[in-house]
Amino acid sequence: MNHNRVVCFDLEMCCWNENGVGSTGEIIEVGLAEVDLSAGEIVKRAQYYVKPEHDDISLFCVELTGITPRKIEKQGRPLAQVIQSMIKNFGGPKKIYASWGRDDLILLKECEAKGIDAPFKEFLNLATLYRIQHRLKDKRIGHRAAQESLGIDWEGRQHSGYVDAYNLAKLALAIL
């Protein structure tokens, strides 16, 4: 296990908002940013679009994420291929993966449903770590609010897996 490297990742999924109630479906984007804790820097980034097998991309989802059906049609690949690229380019079980919240469960559940081996074994929930460090026992805090509370500027459009993973990597360097 390489404890000096952490792969921060963020997922975007098909999503809908009906009568003010949000729901999500299959993964359509995986953003990754790897940090080298010894060097204190972000060393690698990637963005992968995923073709959903069953879900459609709603207008709400396009407005939220900026991901259009056309973009997925042109650049999307099956989840199994994306997972292979993640393992090849970022390492698999020998790396620690981290997200804000439980994106690991979403990814692992979809991998299991599609018969794909999980890309990692070790996982850190940076939201839980942040809440422990700041004694926020029962309070939830969003990724952007947590980052800005530490004086770390947010860069880019929120709800882009690529952008969110990069910003999470900046936050990870501050709290790990």
Domain count for the chain: 1
pTM of the complete model: 0.96
| Domain, as residue range, for 133 | 5-175
Distance between CA atoms of residues 72 and 70, nearest Å: 5
What secondary structure does DSSP assign to 33-75, as a single string? EEEETTTTEEEEEEEEEB--SS----HHHHHHH---HHHHHHH
Q: What's the pLDDT at 20?
A: 85
**In this structure, how many other beta carbons lie within 10 angstroms of the beta carbon of residue 112?**
11
User: What is the domain-level CATH number for residue 106?
Assistant: 3.30.420.10
Mean pLDDT score of the chain? 96
Distance between CA atoms of residues 82 and 74, nearest Å: 15
113-163: per-residue pLDDT in tens?
999 999 999 999 999 999 999 999 778 899 999 999 999 999 999 999 999
Judge contact between 146 and 127, C-beta under 8 A: yes
